[in-house]
Structure 1
Amino acid sequence: MKLIAKSKRLNIRELNEFDAQFILELTNSAGWIRYIGARNISTIAEGLDYIKSGPEKSYQENGFGLWAVVKNKGNDTMGLCGIIKLNPLSQPDIGFAFLPKYEGKGYAYEAARLCIGIAFDKYRLDQLKGIVMPNNMRSIQLLQRLGMTYRDTDHQQNLDTYVLINNTVAI
């Protein structure tokens, strides 16, 4: 278990094979399906395949990816948060998703702030995107609270892009 960051209430760590059940539950939650899309994960084995082909592959290729957000007390895995780079030419974006019972408690904001710090301080990214469906108001409000501003809309994919510029990177 590789610890990425921690705060008073949570730890952020790499996903591993023991998170397959959590991935199964999260990817089948109503919010995930509505705002991210069905991943057709219906078994623990498929949850493990998702971890290996997504986050673990990204850790190897980019050094970052989606990480597990774990409650300090009780060690419960609450959600995912991290830096996503979908293809070599794209700008990285921040991603987050939490189990319904952990939504609305500030965990996503806390985890996202840690991930933004990692993106800018460790990886020296000059900007970070937030890509969201226009009807996902809670995520839009979170992106705005994180300091991101609306940039544009991809009408073909029905996605809005928000951007946070790293003003500390030397140009």
Structure 2
Amino acid sequence: MKIITESPRLMIREFTLEDAPAVLHFNTPELVNRYTGDAGVCTTLTDAEDIIRTIWLVEYQQYGFGRWAVVVKDTNTVIGFCGFKNETRINAVDIGYRLHPDYWGMGLATEANQACIDYAKAHMDLDVVYAYAADANTGSINVATKLGMVYHSQYQEGELTFNRYEILLKAGGSIDNV
């Protein structure tokens, strides 16, 4: 288990297969996937294991990063994910998160993602990072803006309209029109 970074209340670390029950737990509530396009993707323990094995563990090997486990320090409970994804559809890196609804409204999403941004500035070779949020998802839009991300553009995917946000991580870097 590789610890990536920490914040006052959270530890951010790589997922392991032992986290499958937690991955299933934070993906099960319908509210969690309302705006993600992932509804119904993780409904069994096998689904959760497959996500860890075939997506996250592969991304750690391939890119050196991926979605990481968000762990509450006080209870050692995995409550969701945060971190980066090499989004090949746009040839750029995005930051995202997903938390169980029991942990919404406490500032944990902002805290976790700020820790990731700080980690990226210090340890990753990224100039710019993007975030995507359905325009109806005010919670995620608030997280993006609290991180210092700025509105970039809007696009349609199926029935949902998404806002794209960006943040420049390195001085002298450039923001491309994605």
TM, length-normalised to structure 1: 0.92
1:163 and 2:161 matched: no
Q: Is the 8 A contact 1:83 1:119 kept in 2?
A: no
- Can you list the C-alpha shifts for 1:30-81, whole angstroms capped at 9, x where unaligned? 2222011214222211110011111111101110000001011110111110
Measure how far apart 1:118 and its partner are: 2.0
Opposite residue 84 of structure 1, the aligned amino acid is K
Identify the residue that residue 103 of structure 1 maps to in structure 2. 104
Name the counterpart of 2:24.
Answer: 24
Shift of 1:111: 0.7
Q: Cα offset for 1:124?
A: 2.4
Aligned length: 171
Aligned-partner Cα distance in 2 for 1:96–1:169 = 27
Letter in 2 for 1:107: L
**Percent identical residues:** 32
* Range that drifts further, 80-89 or 55-64: 80-89
Using the alignment, how far apart are the partners of 2:152 and 2:35 within structure 1? 19
Q: How far is the alpha carbon of 1:119 from its aligned partner?
A: 2.1
Spell out the pairing of 1:20-169 with structure 2 (5 A cutoff): 20-37=20-37, 38-87=39-88, 90-157=91-158, 158-168=161-171
SS of 2:74's equivalent in the other structure is coil
Comparing 37-46 with 135-144, which one deviates more in the overlay? 37-46
Is the 1:148–1:163 contact (alpha carbons within 8 Å) kept by the matching residues of 2?
yes
Moved more, 158-167 or 109-118: 158-167
* Range with bigger deviation, 54-63 or 151-160: 151-160
Q: 1:30/1:57 Cα in 2 relative to 1: closer, same or farther (>3 Å)?
A: same
Query: How far apart, CA to CA, are the structure 1 residues paired with 2:61 and 2:133?
Result: 26
Paired with 1:99 and 1:156, the residues of 2 have a C-alpha distance of 24
Which ranges of 4 or more aligned residues in structure 1 deviate by more than 6 Å? none
Q: Structure 1 residue 120: deviation in Å?
A: 2.3
Task: Give structure 2 stretches of 5+ with no counterpart.
Answer: none
Contact 2:126 2:170 survives alignment (8 Å) = no
Find the residue that maps to 2:43 and give its secondary structure. Answer: coil
Match of 2:4 in 1: 4
